[in-house]
Every structure is written in C-alpha cells, then in structure tokens.
Structure 1
Amino acid sequence: MKANVTDLEIEKQLLPLFDFTGNTYARKKLAGILSELPDTQEGVYERQALIKSFIDNGYAYTEITYSTHDFEEVLHSFTRINDQYYYYDSNHIIATVQLLWRRRYRHSMRSRLAQLALFMAQLHAYFEAIDPEVFPLVFGERMASLKQYLSMFRAREIAHRIRKDRFGIKDQLFLLDLLNRKIDEKTAKGHWETFYAYEAWLSMAKGIVKHGFVFPEFTDSGFQMQDFYHPALREPVKNDLDTNGPVMLLTGPNMSGKSTLLKAIGICVYLAHAGMGVPASLCRLPYFDSITVIINLSDDLKHGYSHFMMEVQHLKNVVQEAHTGKRCFAVFDELFRGTNVDDALDISQETINGLHHFKGSFFVISTHLYQLQPLLKEANAWYIDCMLKDHVPQFLYRLRAGWSDLKIGRIIFEKEGLPALLQSK
C-alpha cells in the first residue's frame, strides 16, 4: 500500500490516541503498525480480526502492570546472557562455591536475579489468563510459545520465597542455569518481540475502545460516514458524508474549517486501511490502492520547485497511478492556489472533469474559486457552513451539500483595522 500522508501527522496526532504501552520497544512496535499499511484488503481484515480478538474476549480492558525501570533492568540482564558476569559452572556444588566466593558480585547478583524473578512472575500472572486459541492462528501460536517460555522460570513460586525472604542459593542457581544454558540470546529476543507485539496490539485495542471508534466496512462503490470527526480535537463537531462518484468538491470561507475537515476524512480513510477503528459511528468506503493527502504544501527549494510545480507534481503522481487501474484516494487542499486566478480556474475545471473518468477512485478537492460553480453545474459540491450575525462571522463547522457563496475575507480584513492602518498619515 502506497501512502503519502505526511500532512496527517501520524506520529504526532494519531499515535497518542492508541499509546497505552509501558516501554519504548512496544511503543516503537505500535508506531510501526500504525505507519505500515497492509498491502491487500485481506491484510486489513486480518488486522481487524486480531484487534477484535482483544476486544471481544475482554483483554482490551486488562492491564499489564510493571515498572518501566524494572523492565529495563531485566532486559539488560537478558542482553548479558553468556557474559562472564552470569557464568557459573553446571555442577551445582562448584557453582555454589563460585557464587559464595565472588563476593564482589554476590549481592548485586542476588538483587538482579530477585528483580528478574519478580518481574517474570508479574508477566506470568497476566499471561496465565490469556487464551492463545482466541487469536488468529499465527499470533495465537506466538502467544502459546510465550506462555510456555514464561513458565520455564517458575517465577511465581520463586517470587513467593523472595517475599518470605527465603530466596536462597538453590533458586539463584536455577535462574543462572536458565540464563547460561537453557535460554540463548536469540530465543530470549524472539520472546521479547512477542511481548512487545502483544502490548502494541493490546494498546491499539484499548485506544479503539476508549475513543469509541468503529471498524469500517469496505464496499465496491460509494463513500459513507456518519458522525465522523478529527480525533485530535477536544470538542469536535461531528459530520455526515454520503456520496457517490469519484470527485468531491469542498468550498467555504476562510477559517471555516475546510482543512480540518479534509484531515478528518483523510484520517478516517487512513485508519480504515490500517485495519483499525475510525472516529465515526459508521464508515463504508471502497478499498483504495493508494492514499495521498496534500494539505500543508510548500515549495521544494532543494529541487527548485515552486508551490505550483509541487501541486502539479503531486497531482501528476496520483493521476498516473489511477491510469494504471489503481483505486486512488487523494485529498488536495486549495488545488492550484500557487498560480494566478485565470490559470487556476481553467486548469481546475479541466482537472475536476478529467478525474471523473477514474471510477473506483475518490478525490476530495477544496477550492476558493467560486467562479467554478456555473462551469461545473453537475459537480458533487459540498461546503462548510458559516453565517454572518451583526456582520460578525459565526463558524458552524457543519458539512452541507451544495456551494458556499459567503466571502468573509474583506470582513476579517476590516475587523483587524487594516484599512485605517494603511491610510497615509
């Protein structure tokens, strides 16, 4: 799946919605899941099935509680497997003598091993209640393997003796034998990766439940969303969109919320293709082969491209993909604002008419070119509602079908006192 969605600010605005992880490795895994879209519709449904298994079986409401400091210390112990610090003879009598003789390490070793046992006991207590068979096959197999791995440490009984201050040489040598001989670094790393993956998917499920996101449904045609909104807003206005056809034209005055609404649509489409829930009460849309969201466009000084040239290049890339038969989703905010009004009007009309040929794709274009209305009488036009009250703009942030004819640029200009400031002294 190809996605050009820098303007959606995935890591800054979306990742925090799903981040309930307890360590940096699980958080990195979560970020990877969020940024790497499956290549097929079947892959999207597989992700949905995995997340739903967390929710439907109640695991999304559970907590893996542990100290981040303890986790880092325990992980450090595993990264030093086969280090001389942990090496003791396989013969318990000799190993006991070694342990007693190494006074420099004796107390720190005992402390580290106790920390390891207590941490693994916490994990074992949590995963003991997890049924691997409720998950999709491959993930379930990984969970079964992780549970078997955790049971090797006999952590619960050792933790009990630690709390009773009966953590003796025998228990210490048992753990050292595991670290030295029973578990190699590659095996340990594989199980930690499974733990990170579990916590990342659990975190994803938690986010979907907490925010009340809904899983989308892919259809052959049409684009329908109810009560959709931008999830980063504290008090968002929710909107409905039910449309057919490949092009949606969006108008509205300055500051009416066009860019935010475009981002909200883009986020819903992106999360849908990531296999996650979307911020809406209902979402039905086609499966797209590529996703492009162009909102905060600027010049490319490195390659000597002007703003207009950047607009043309992004549009060209999308159209070329659509020409190959791919279903493309694209958002363009104020397309062709980088050129003069006459050119913008002419090529906007040609672009919008041309994009109608790509059935199965969906292009959302916002514009300030109100002169397009008589030229595109059959256009699928929508606008962000705004009204004037006592010559003051009232922004409603409601999506309506049709064209906007409200212009408030002059009103804002005058309200800020610029006409007086610009008069000669």
Structure 2
Amino acid sequence: MQSQEILQQILAHLDLWDLGINNADIYYIEHYFKSEIVILDKNKSIARLKLLVNKSPYKHQMMTGVKQLAVFLSSVMQKLEQAFPYCPDNLKPTIKEIHSLVNESEARKLAEWGIAVNELSDYELLQLDHEIRFSFKESFYKALGILYKIEALFSLAKAIKVHKLVFPQFSTNNEFEVKDCWNPALENCTRNSFYFENNKNIILLTGPNMSGKSTFLRTVGLIACLAHTGMAIPAVSATLPFFDSVEICISIQDSLTEGYSHFYAELKKVKTMAEQLKNGHHCFMIFDELFKGTNLSDAARCTAVLANGILQHPDSYCIFSSHHTGLMAADPALQNQLQFSHVETLIEDGVPRFTYIFKPGISNIFLGYYFLQKEGIDKLMNVSGH
C-alpha cells in the first residue's frame, strides 16, 4: 500500500519528477572519478600550483569533469527542490538524504555554482578537484543510488499513465474479481474478466491447445505480481485479497546440471507451495497443465491430490489448467467443489476459431490431432487417419 501511495502522488505531479538523468552524463562523471589525474601537493605555494596547473596535461580533463558534475548536481538539486513540496511523506527522508550528501561537502559549491565553474582560478580548481574525487566520491555514489530509485519510481508512474493502468483494491473479505484485464506484451489483446465464486477457491481452466489458456494464466500471474509490489495493473478494475505468497508454475524447465527432470522440477515447485500452505500462509497459485512428465492417469491423480489439499485452505486461491475428463475420473467428488471455466474455441465448418474469451463452463474440444493433420505430419509418416 505504501508503494501505491508514493506512485499515486508522483502521478499527480508527474512532470516535476522527471530529473532528466541520462546515461551519457553519468558515464562522463564516472569516467572523471576514475581518471588518473595527478593530484598536486596542496602545501605548495599558490604560484607554484598555478604554474603546474597551466602546464599540466590534465587541466582540460579536470576542468571538464568538474564542470560536468557541477551542471549535473545543479540541475538535479533544482528539480528536487521544485518537486519537494509535492513529495510523498514516505519519500521525503530520501530527498533529505540527497541534500545532506551534497550540502555537507565541497560539492555544495557545484550545486550552487553550476556552469560558473569556468570562473574558478587554477588554485580553486585544484582544491575543488581534490575534494570531489577523494572526499565526495563515496557520497556521490550514495546519492546517485537514491536518484536511481527516484528515477525508477518516475518510470513506473509514467508507464501507468502511458498504458492506462489502474491500482487494484485489496479486499478484507476475500473478494477476488478482475474486470477487463489484458496482457501488455500483446497488441490488440482480447480483454477478459474473471472472479472466484462464493465458497470456491479453485478455478479449473480447460480448453484445447492454442486456445489461449497459458496466455490467460500469464496475464493473471502478471496482475497478481504487480499488485503485490504496489504497482498498477493492466485492467479496468481489480479487487483481490493480499496474499503472503504468489506461486506461479508455468513452463517449468528441467535441469541437466542438478539432475532434475521436468516432472521432478514441477514437484519441487509444488512442494514449496505445500510448505507455504502448511505454515499458514495465504497463497495465490497458478499451475499450467501440471505433471505433463508422467502419464495421463498418473498426472490426473497427482492433480487431484493437489486440488484436495488446496481446498482445505479457503483463504488461498488457485487457477490451474488441466484435462477435465482425467481429473474427474481420478476424483469424481471434485466435480462439485471446483469452479470450471474455459477459453472459448468455436468450430466453424470443421475449422477451429479462437476467440480467446474466458468463459464459465467446461470445454470438451480437443485439437491436437487436427493440428497434426494440418501440418501434414500424418502424410509425412505415411499413416492414415484413425
């Protein structure tokens, strides 16, 4: 909730938080800090210092580095000062820390002088360069790290505005409903709405291959993760419980180095989730066709065990895709305990048409063999249809 409040207040005055930091400026300043400019003995007479500076091949590099840093600090500090009256309370200590890091060093002069560095005498330049590269360097990188965080918040707020994202609401009564959500990674993405029915905490998602089940699950997973980081989400509105853990199991890979098969990698993920539930955590889980690494009846039996376990934790929610027929055969009692949904596929003149629309009910359409024939694999293998 704290992150939401910060982003909402930055959004209200978005232009003020554009600090104008660019990679080229940072690169040049870091190059200056890492330079091998010879530091002259400050105890020598001013005349000697002037003479050495004027003859030093490092003078131009020194002058340019100090000037670049001066312009950078002057610009950033001015913008922070303008934004501070509109700063979220949670962010004010961060801004004050930047001011302290700059104002408690010789860099304060840079922030005040800006491009007036050109007016420095050789002796003043030498002294300031020494202070900056040896005394202010650590403080600069601390301040830069804080500025990066502010820039990240600005980028998030800008993304919210550009992509028209909305902040979700967190329910206190386990309400879970999302309206008109979409996947921002897809152009012209079909928008879908879904909700968990009363006294139901598992949605079983069905549908044929290529119907859009995995894309829908990824979209829901993205929404859950963004919501729990305090970020806005790609939807018109959303209300969901605040979970202790969000577990997503999509496209789990095997591991050659660790000796994990695909099936065992899935088991490890499921075990993590089971431990979270046993410890009393409220979890949101997404599973995409679990246990593909074993035979259909064995996979259905494993899925039934998982479903029955989750049903014992009504404050935790789960969406998983599976083949309905096999699961109901493994445990017919689940028929009345799960919320069945599907991603719509229409068959028109024997040809499938994918609408990518999330709907209630069960899909009994299977298209694996259809696509095998469409690709001509049966002919390549010289096998007639069965």
Settle same-fold status: TM greater than 0.5.
Answer: yes
SS at match of 1:128: helix
Q: Distance in 2 between matches of 1:161 and 1:306?
A: 64
What residue in structure 1 maps to residue 299 of structure 2? 344
CA-CA distance at 1:225 after TM superposition: 0.6
Q: Distance in 2 between matches of 1:304 and 1:254?
A: 29
Q: Distance in 2 between matches of 1:218 and 1:384?
A: 26
What residue in structure 1 maps to residue 30 of structure 2? 75
Q: Cα gap change, 1:91/1:180 in structure 2, threshold over 3 Å: closer, same or farther?
A: farther
Aligned residue pairs total 373
Letter in 2 for 1:390: D
What residue in structure 2 maps to residue 388 of structure 1? 347
Cα deviations by residue, 1:218-262 (Å, 9 ceiling, x for unpaired): 113021111112221122111101114321110011100111111
What residue in structure 2 maps to residue 241 of structure 1? 194
Q: Distance in 2 between matches of 1:371 and 1:320?
A: 26
Which sections of structure 1, spanning at least 5 residues, go unmatched? 1-44
SS at match of 1:336: coil
What residue in structure 1 maps to residue 360 of structure 2? 401
Give 1:265's match in structure 2, choosing from 220, 223, 234: 220
What residue in structure 2 maps to residue 54 of structure 1? 10
What residue in structure 1 maps to residue 129 of structure 2? 176
Q: Distance in 2 between matches of 1:366 and 1:424?
A: 31
The percentage of counterpart residues that share the same residue type is: 28
Correspondence list, 1:284-323, <5 A: 284-323=239-278
Q: Distance in 2 between matches of 1:248 and 1:96?
A: 77
Q: Cα gap change, 1:92/1:373 in structure 2, threshold over 3 Å: closer, same or farther?
A: farther
SS at match of 2:8: helix
Give 1:421's match in structure 2, choosing from 362, 380, 385: 380
Give 1:224's match in structure 2, choosing from 169, 172, 177: 177
Partners of 1:88 and 1:98 within 8 A in 2: no
Partners of 2:207 and 2:365 within 8 A in 1: yes
Cα deviations by residue, 1:256-294 (Å, 9 ceiling, x for unpaired): 011111111111111111111111111211111122111
What residue in structure 1 maps to residue 155 of structure 2? 203
Q: Cα gap change, 1:142/1:91 in structure 2, threshold over 3 Å: closer, same or farther?
A: farther
Correspondence list, 1:6-25, <5 A: none
TM-score where L is the length of structure 1: 0.78
Counterpart check, 1:115 vs 2:87:
no
Letter in 2 for 1:377: Q
Which consecutive aligned stretches of 4+ in structure 1 deviate over 4 angstroms post-superposition? 154-158
Query: Which one has more relative contact order, counting CA pairs under 8 Å at least 6 apart?
Result: 1
Give 1:359's match in structure 2, choosing from 314, 317, 341: 314
Letter in 1 for 2:335: K
Which sections of structure 2, spanning at least 5 residues, go unmatched? none
Counterpart check, 1:377 vs 2:335:
yes
Q: Distance in 2 between matches of 1:92 and 1:135?
A: 50
CA-CA distance at 1:344 after TM superposition: 2.4
SS at match of 1:130: helix
SS at match of 1:104: coil
TM-score where L is the length of structure 2: 0.86
SS at match of 1:298: coil
